[in-house]
Structure 1
Amino acid sequence: MSGPEGSTSRMITDFQAKFLAHELTKRCAPDSSERLTGAVAGAQVDLNPHQVEAALFAFASPLSKGALLADEVGLGKTIEAGLVISQRWAERKRRILVIAPSNLRKQWHQELNEKFLLPGVILESKSYNQSIRDGLFQPFEVENAIVICSYQFARSKASDVHRVPWDLIVIDEAHRLRNVYKPSNVIANTLKNALAQKNKILLTATPLQNSLLELYGLVSFIDEHAFGDVKSFRDQFANPGDKRGFEALKQRLKPICHRTLRRQVTAYIPYTRRLPLVEEFTPADGEDRLYQLVSDYLQRDNLQALPPGQRSLMTLVLRKLLASSTFAIAGALNSISKRLTAKLAAHAVATPLEELSEDFEALDATADEWPEDVSEEPLTGADRKAIEAEIADLESFAKLATSIEHNAKGKALLKALDVAFAKARELGGAEKAIIFTESRRTQEYLQRILSSSPYAGGVVLFNGTNTDPLSREVYARWIERHAGSDRVTGSRTADMRSALVDYFRDEGQIMIATEAGAEGINLQFCSLVVNYDLPWNPQRVEQRIGRCHRYGQKHDVVVVNFINRKNEADQRVYQLLSEKFRLFEGVFGASDEVLGAIESGVDFEKRIAGIYQECRQPEQIRAAFDQLQLELSLEIDSAMSQTRQKLLEKFDDEVREKLRVRDEDAKVHLDRYEQCLMRLTRHELDGQATFHNSSSFTLPARPRWANGAAIPPGLYELPRRSGEAHTYRLNHPLGEAVVARAKARELTPAEVHFDYANHPGKISILEPFVGKAGWLVATLMTVEALDEAEDHILLSGITDEGHLLTREICDRLMTIHGTRRQDVTPNPDAVGRIEKSSSEAQALIRRGVSERNARFFEAEADKLDGWADDLKVGLEREIKEIDRLIKEARRAATTALTLEEKLAGQKQIKTLEATRNQKRRSLFDAQDQIDRQRAELIAQIESKLEQKVEDAPLFTIRWQLR
């Protein structure tokens, strides 16, 4: 039976339930602020108004080919895209692809799952090949799951990607595509062709770095008709000093580019600072000797252990392990030595990269963006001798590494933790630290160090497998505690991650995490980040710190780094990351300008790896880093930064006011939506569930009428509550079953008594009708146009005295608790007047839809006019250029002194005139062709403008208000 508040659920009628069910599932107009309410209500995250604003911008016009969402770093572009994805999902448009850098794939998967409760699948070589083996020959066509893949993988499977009729494509870190206008950018051009004509959302904080042509590239990636060709764009817009052209460009970008700045949202997002701490250490002689020996080995011209096609990547990995700890490099050296020994004996061997992947967990993500040839040549006699010599060297290096029992950096860690925890206490934060390392063996070493320190009791490991005893114990306890709730996903990997994070938050003090293991986790409760190993990729460093320094962090975040006093290159890497990228201090971390300048952190990482590999002397190292720093300074162009500001940013006051209104609208719609869902659920589950308050209930068993739907019993809560229950929302199987039942119910006309006397609160608009009666009719009107459908639930009423009720009065009447009485026969006169009123309301809706679609059409036609004019301008400028050359040639011929020069000049003039005449004929033909293309595109849009209207009666009631 229902609980204390449950009795009220019997007080709404089947008529009201049907009305609520249709209200909750109605499709809204594309520019309506109500459109995203379902997606917002179902999200397990507190949304900020700028995120709702950005998502609505992406839906602004049904004719749009997509949008460029360019909010500054840290404002939650993933959340904005998640809202768009959620809405598409709710509309049953579920062919959705997310393309992201390989190191962000797991984060996307987790964010969609945890924040939007949406299923996703990461597609890469292993899972793709498995699908093929399982007989699924179109692995990208995944049913009821969002496909997530890397840039490299999407490019390598471009033909597969192209075949799928995607409903939506989201591309993260899209600045990688900004040079798509250059034919040499193979990845960007391959993806552009594969994704042509599909609706796309591009996410980047840096859409414009060095040239306005980059902006042209990104926009053309979304919509090839936004501008003409690159030549006409360059002619018209590439000079920021041309004020008229600049303003024209700004208007052309307005419908497709959206940008919000961090300073504009401080009313909603409190920011904390980053505070850097540096711990210097001096390696012992043995460690230093090992470093020099292995480094010299890696710099040899020919190495049998490193196949030429994989050498640069393997060298990078081995240098990372060498810098991490003697334990990490010892394991790697032994693996390589054993592999070479097996190769000599002609035994089957794993590839060198496979051997390293178990220890260096980030290898798969790194290798994905370091495409190299993995083939090996057959052995010769000379090779055998070289291998034997190399094995001897490797074994001696490994023996030295194994003999070293303590690392200076490991000892420095204990000192650094004491200092950092003291700082955390001073700042009011919890005494918790996340320690990042790039090596599994180093992780084990750090666990050993800490186990004999004052911090022994609260250490937890986090890596790609989590098979250690504590992890298994934590996982088992977590599964037992959350059994029967939506926290348990059924995926051991996902649930293990959640279990370890919860343990770290509630019981642990120190988490030691590998790079790959920690992708996608959120640790706002921790405010101390320790980079035991410092990646060379600035984007990876930012990602690490961003695990803690993110929305929801209440304290300043302390970031600890280690500097090797004996290593010039390590010192310069830290200097670059600290001073040039400003990763470790300030309020926001790395700026858009700096992170955007490098385009891809992997490319930057390769530059660093090259310096380590090629430079032997300290002065060579210094010179190479000086050159890299100089190049970086040139790329961070302040003039272009100002151009971007003027072009893409709106006035702060204008944005803040818009966000304030959006915040108020979203809260009103969300509150009403959740109330409607719970009122409907109370009614449909009356007698089958116990309702505890306005946002939770317990379901003891699957409803008898659920028709086999997968509905587990237990506690249910609306999103953003405790998280210990099933998250109740409209697209939950129970929510879908509740709505379907209410909508499908056949309702004969009946008398309904509305009990205003016992209604909590006063509704002034209804008070004149207390004691009166009349008729009310509900109709569902659906309008289809421009490939979009929108629903309108029309309520029309009349009193027995003949007064027509406004829509607002009818709406408020449906909120009053009611009781169904006997069936009735509708009064023809009253119903006739109601139908006339309803027809007038429908006509107004149709007119509104027509006017709105006319605006969309006009905007699209203006865009196509601009595209056609761009192309024509480009052609006309070619002729003007030839005219200029002809004039110069005539002047030269007039001033020529000899007959031969005059004749040569005339000949040149004739050639130029012939070229001009040919160009003119081509111009007329090309202009005609452009006009034909424009007309065809307009005709395609016009064919979609025609409205298709359907009416479906919902119910008729005889009402009395008491």
Structure 2
Amino acid sequence: MGHELISFISTASRIADTLTHDVLLAPIESSVIPLPHQIHALTRAMSGDRVRYLLADEVGLGKTIEAGLIIRELKLRGLARRVLVLAPKGLVTQWVAEMKGHFNEDFRLLMPSDFAGYRRIAGEENPWRTHHQVICPMDSVKPLEKRRGWSRAQVAEYNHDRFDSLVAAGWDLIIVDEAHRMGGSTDQVARFRLGQGLAEAAPYLLLLSATPHQGKSDAFHRLLTLLDMDQFPSQSSVTRERVAPYVIRTEKRHAIDAEGKPLFRPRQTQLFPVAWEARHQRQKALYEAISDYVRLGYNQAMRQKRNAIGFLLILMQRLVTSSTSAIRTTLERRLEALKLPNPQLSLLTPEMEEEWGDMDGQELLENLMATRVKGIRNERAEVQMLLDAARQCEEAGPDAKAETLLDRIYTLQQEENDPDLKVLIFTEFVPTQEMLRQFLEDRGFPVVCLNGALSMEERKAAQLAFAQERRILISTDAGGEGLNLQFCHVVINYDIPWNPMRLEQRIGRVDRIGQPHVVRAINFVFEETVEYRVQEVLEEKLEVIRQEFGIDKTGDVLDSAQTGELFDDLHVDAILHPEKVEPAVDEMVNRIREGAVNARETESILAATRELDPGDAQRMISHPLPHWVERMTVSYLRAHGGDAQRTNSGWRLQWPGEKPESGRFVFSTQESMSIPTASHLTLEDPRIRSLASRLPRFIPGQPIPVVQLPGIPDGIEGTWSLWRIAIQDSDGNRQRIMPLFVHDDGRALMPTAKRIWDQLMAADASIQRHMTGDDAASAFHKVESLAEQHGHGLWQELQESHRERIAAELVRGEYAFSMRRQSIERLGLPEVKNHRLRLLEQEEESWRSDLASIEQILPEMTPLLIVRMHEGDAHG
């Protein structure tokens, strides 16, 4: 046995032992430096065998990074290969970019609408199998019950492609972003049915949501059943004690950086009234005319409940407060639609309404304009008159808000003492965006635009341009989804979405981890309008609630589809009945307050944030694992007839029996960043991983090397060995690696054993000779006897851990069977009740039998390495 083989076995054993403890691999092997709360999330997620969790950190704390760390951890441990991410449509490109940028993980964005092309290119019947790591929009794969004009066969074919094939594609890990959307209003809603299919499709499941409860206990219960149906058989089972093992949550007020300082600073928000000057009277008259058109038309339209014309009219009100350009282009499109023959009265299906809650103003407009919506009485003449007025307004000069925006930008440059100040401007509509781009560029401002129609590459280019030379970014809500713009701290909301949470999401694009400045948010609204009165009263009263309950708890209440509908209804009521604004706002605020009370009460169900250790992140980054992997690999190759040579561009490797690899290789993240042409080898590589997982066994009777080792003091004379202590059960193999040093005087010195192991990891042993024959056999039996004594404690630890797992599974199962039995006993028909009870009894007997079989465990102790420490020290 040469010194390279000793180095390989000692290093591989240390890595194998590390993998059995709570040492996390992903932070060591990723280019992102995790924050303490992200380390906490990864530690919790990997603390047990069942990686099925709700990641519920509050908005802005980086749940995507946490999910990426868990992906990397599972892959590095060899536990996951095929990964699926489902996210809202506006976030899928962000997921692709962040997985590549932070973790060098390539995910393929798959759109079911393109499956015919995938099949032609790949020749794969199930397109979901063409890539190991896939991201797709959540709503593109919901199962359909029926669709107007479709036969059952067409619905079945649709579901086969998008749902059945997806669930059957063999995933190891599934991640759902904005997972609260899967809670649904009933257990039959398409999104919840999708969630049920996914829950059974992979052993590992992560649900991401900053607002998982939203004051709706039934939806929260359904969400939890996706993680563990047995643990949450009924709403009454949703208790703090039962939920805690499944929820990982950090609140913003607890979040700190690596130095222990708070992550977030206060922000300044200002409602900025825009006045109509004398030169803007045409615009003011247009606003009033559109408001009358909306008010009168809406009352006509809504005699038929929930039809599309009512929604289009309300959208007209938002368009006129955005810009003359936005209302003019929409009136043009509406007039063309009204000229077409045979318009239809379009009703909104529940599926449409479910998706519309996620759309921004421009997306709503496009969907409504694509529908041939029947007009109201005399609408064609009315629209023509309004269109003429809008065109006259544009000819008269810039909008009042555009002029105010220009003045405000100049003022901000002076206040911030920065002539190159970067400003993020949000608008709901693309025509407004285009008008502002032209208006500001004509006045010398470098501008770039983002909206939902841009491709991933165009989005990247726009963000890069804003980060570099462009001073102003104008974005729609859909364009702004997923943006991380910490280098900018001023947001101007040129028009205000009706739901305050959309406003919060806009500001959240710059108010993120790493923002060094106080964020300034300026919200434009026209004076002497219904919208201004609503915003003025609403802001004042919402602030009272925020003071009472805290910003975060209020945000939890506001961030729900149900609350979004309430804000829509509030604004519609205010437009229809301007004289009743204050009572309508009061009623709305009372409902929000009730929700905040409920949120505060139900907050206790979610796991409390523990104190975070600011040193966790830095300790992770400084871990020597990459060095160990490098030493293990190089030692193995040299010991087994391969080769490893270091060059300036990385390692040149030759595996035993193979030709030299053509490329160069590195083992640390730092080197992979400094030598981008080299391949980064980690434990994720199957060949590297097998070196640590298939440890060679020391065969009793084989020669024992006598070595000298630098750094070991005089008097350390005896036999050092490594032992693998394990238990075998039907659920797998669990192990510990034990170093043992037996002094020649008969004492077992455990601290010395650890020190010798550390030295073997750092320096090469010098082999003087080998013990053979009876001497080797005698030395082996002497240390074997002591290894059995000292290994007994480790074996007991493994045994106790195994018993705890069995006990937890027993409690979980008995509770589930008990709740199911109670449910069956409530049935009225005796025959049905007795039949189901008999089936449940058979199922429980089978479960207890399976549990009894995994209680049986077998101890195992295997020698890995034995060396004789030579008298004296090698000293250098």
TM-score, reference length from structure 2: 0.76
Partner of 1:933: 843
Residue 662 of structure 2 corresponds to residue 718 of structure 1: no
Instruction: For 2:764 and 2:328, locate their aligned partners in 1 and report how far apart those are by CA, in whole Å.
Output: 77
1:536 aligns with 2:482: no
Give the residue type in structure 2 aligned to 1:39.
A
State which of 710, 732, 738 in structure 2 corresponds to 1:756: 710
Of the structure 1 ranges 195-204 and 523-532, higher mean CA displacement relative to structure 2 is found in: 195-204
Task: Return the offset for 1:549.
Answer: 1.1
**Do the aligned residues in 2 keep the contact of 1:754 with 1:817 (CA within 8 Å)?**
no
Q: Determine whether 1:564 maps to 2:526.
A: yes
Counterpart Cα distance in 1 of 2:109 and 2:337: 31
Of 863, 867, 871, the residue aligned with 2:816 is 867
Letter in 1 for 2:625: Y
Query: What letter matches 2:75 in structure 1?
Result: W
CA distance in 1, matches of 2:806, 2:689: 35
Check whether the contact 1:779–1:793 (CA below 8 A) recurs between aligned residues.
yes
Match of 1:325 in 2: 323
- Is residue 111 from structure 1 mapped to residue 72 from structure 2 by the alignment? no
Distance 1:795 1:739, change over 3 A: same
User: 1:694 aligns to what?
Assistant: none
Aligned to 1:33: 22
**Hey, what's the Cα distance between the residues in 2 that align with 1:705 and 1:397?**
79
Q: For residues 462 and 703 of structure 1, do their structure 2 counterparts lie closer, same or farther at Cα, with a shift above 3 Å needed? A: farther
Question: Is contact 1:749–1:824 with CA below 8 Å preserved after alignment?
Answer: yes
Aligned pair 1:53/2:40, yes or no?
Answer: yes
Aligned to 1:415: 407
- Structure 2 counterpart of 1:535, which letter? P
Q: Letter of the aligned partner of 2:323 in structure 1?
A: S
2:222 counterpart residue number = 217
Judged with a 3 Å threshold, the aligned counterparts in structure 2 of structure 1 residues 102 and 942 are, in CA distance, closer, same or farther, namely farther
How far the C-alpha of 1:269 sits from its partner, in A, is 3.5
Q: Give the Cα separation in 2 of the matches to 1:870 and 1:217.
A: 16
1:276-317 per-position Cα deviation (integer Å, ceiling 9, x unaligned): 1333213422333444455566664799xxxx9765665576
Alpha-carbon contact 2:55-2:209 (below 8 Å) kept = yes
C-alpha separation between the residues in 2 aligned to 1:197 and 1:57? 23
Secondary structure (helix, strand or coil) at the match of 1:80 reads helix
Instruction: Judge conservation of contact 1:54–1:80 (CA < 8 Å) in 2.
Output: yes
Rate the CA distance shift 1:286–1:368 in 2: closer, same or farther, 3 A. Answer: closer
Work out whether 1:857 is the aligned partner of 2:819. no
CA contact (8 A) 1:227 1:870 kept: no
Tell me which of 478, 502, 527 is aligned to 2:489.
527
> 1:858 Cα deviation (Å)?
0.7
**1:121 alignment partner, one of 79, 101, 108:** 108
Q: Deviations over 1:292-343 (max 9, x none)?
A: 455566664799xxxx9765665576555443323344444455556777x6
Q: Does 1:192 align with 2:196?
A: yes
Per-residue Cα deviation, 1:446-489 (whole angstroms, up to 9, x for no partner): 33333354x73x544445677xxxxxxxxxxxxxxxxxxxxxxx
- What's the counterpart of residue 760 of structure 1? none
What amino acid is the match of 1:281?
V
On the 8 A contact 1:171/1:203 being kept in 2, the answer is yes
26, 29, 54: which one aligns with 1:68: 54
Measure, in 1, the Cα distance between the counterparts of 2:425 and 2:662.
41
Q: Give the Å deviation of 1:61.
A: 3.4
SS of the residue corresponding to residue 540 of structure 1 reads: helix
Supply the AA of the counterpart residue of 2:168: R
Alignment size in residue pairs? 812
Distance 1:365 1:397, change over 3 A: closer
Q: Distance in 2 between matches of 1:581 and 1:141?
A: 50
The match for 1:816 is: 762
Match of 2:155 in 1: none
Residues 546-585 of structure 1 mapped to structure 2, 5 A cutoff: 546-569=508-531, 571-573=533-535, 576=538, 579-580=541-542
| Contact 1:750 1:822 (8 Å CA) reproduced | no
Aligned equivalent of 1:435: 425
For structure 1, the 5+ residue unaligned runs are: 1-10, 238-248, 347-359, 467-491, 691-697, 758-765, 880-914
Are the equivalent residues in 2 in contact too, given 1:755–1:816 (CA < 8 A)? no
Q: Which residue of 2 aligns with 1:448?
A: 438
Output one character per residue of 1:770-792: Cα deviation in whole Å (capped at 9) or x when no partner. Answer: 6x5x6655566776646455554
**Cα deviation, residue 859, structure 1:** 1.2
Query: Which amino acid in structure 1 is aligned with residue 623 of structure 2?
Result: D
Matched with 2:206 is 201
Q: CA deviation at 1:565?
A: 1.0
Q: CA deviation at 1:174?
A: 3.4
Q: Does 1:288 align with 2:284?
A: yes
Deviations along 1:907-939, whole A, 9 cap, x unmatched? xxxxxxxx8xx76x9877766654443333333
1:591 counterpart residue number = 552
Aligned to 1:226: 231
- With over 3 angstroms needed to count, the CA separation of the structure-2 counterparts of 1:803 and 1:253, relative to structure 1, is same
1:812 CA displacement: 1.6
Q: State the match for 2:133 in structure 1.
A: 145
Q: CA deviation at 1:705?
A: 5.9
Alpha-carbon distance in 1 for matches of 2:272, 2:70: 44
Query: Shift in Å at residue 39 of structure 1?
Result: 1.3
Distance in 1, matches of 2:624 and 2:632, equals: 12
Whether 2:624 is the aligned partner of 1:672: answer yes
SS state at 2:480 partner: coil
Report deviation, 1:852. Answer: 0.8
- The answer to which of 432-441 and 605-614 deviates more is 605-614
Shift of 1:680: 5.7
Q: 1:277 matched to which residue of 2?
A: 270
Cα distance in 1 for partners of 2:782, 2:365 equals 69
Specify the code of the residue in structure 1 equivalent to 2:42: A
Counterpart Cα distance in 2 of 1:929 and 1:862: 21
SS in 2 for 1:511: strand
2:501 and 2:559 in contact (8 A); partners too: no
The SS at the match of 2:481 is coil
1:675 Cα deviation after fit: 4.3
Q: Aligned partners of 1:936, 1:27: CA distance in 2, in Å?
A: 37
Q: CA RMSD in A?
A: 5.2
Q: Please name the residue that 1:16 is paired with.
A: 7
- The C-alpha deviation readout for 1:524-543, integer Å capped at 9, x for no partner, is 23221222233334443222
Q: For residues 344-370 of structure 1, what are the alpha-carbon distances to aligned partners after superposition, in whole Å with 9 as ceiling and x for unaligned?
A: 799xxxxxxxxxxxxx9x969986999
> How far apart, CA to CA, are the structure 1 residues paired with 2:365 and 2:13?
48
SS in 1 for 2:84: strand
User: Percent of aligned pairs with the same residue?
Assistant: 22
Partners of 1:568 and 1:720 in 2: how far apart?
60
1:384-441, Cα deviation, whole Å (9 max, x unpaired): x99986885686366446525411111111222234344545xx99943222233444
One of 10, 23, 29 as aligned partner of 1:42? 29
TM-score normalised by structure 1 residue count: 0.70
In the TM superposition, residue 129 of structure 1 has moved relative to its aligned partner by: 5.6
Query: Conserved in 1, the CA contact under 8 Å of 2:426 and 2:493?
Result: yes
- Structure 1 pair 163/949, CA: closer, same or farther in 2 (3 Å)? farther
Conserved? CA contact 1:275–1:556, under 8 Å = yes
The answer to whether the 8 A contact 1:17-1:742 is kept is no
- The answer for unaligned runs of 5 or more in structure 2 is 145-161, 344-355, 638-642
1:430 touches 1:525 (CA, 8 Å); kept in 2?
A: no
User: How far apart, in 1, do the equivalents of 2:426 and 2:409 lie?
Assistant: 13
SS of the residue corresponding to residue 110 of structure 1 reads: helix
* Superposed displacement of residue 147, structure 1: 2.9
Change (3 A) 1:943 1:803: same
Q: Alpha-carbon deviations, 1:239-272, whole Å to 9, x = none? A: xxxxxxxxxx443334333444344445454320
The DSSP-based 3-state class of the residue aligned with 2:54 is: strand
- Name the SS of the counterpart of 2:440 in structure 1: helix
Deviation, 1:563, is 1.2
Which of these residues, 77, 94, 108, is aligned with residue 63 of structure 2? 77
Residue 477 of structure 1: aligned partner = none
Offset, 1:572:
1.9
Q: 1:172 aligns with which of 177, 190, 195?
A: 177
Specify whether residues 528 and 723 from structure 1 end up closer, same or farther in structure 2 by C-alpha distance, changes over 3 A only: farther
SS in 2 for 1:643: helix
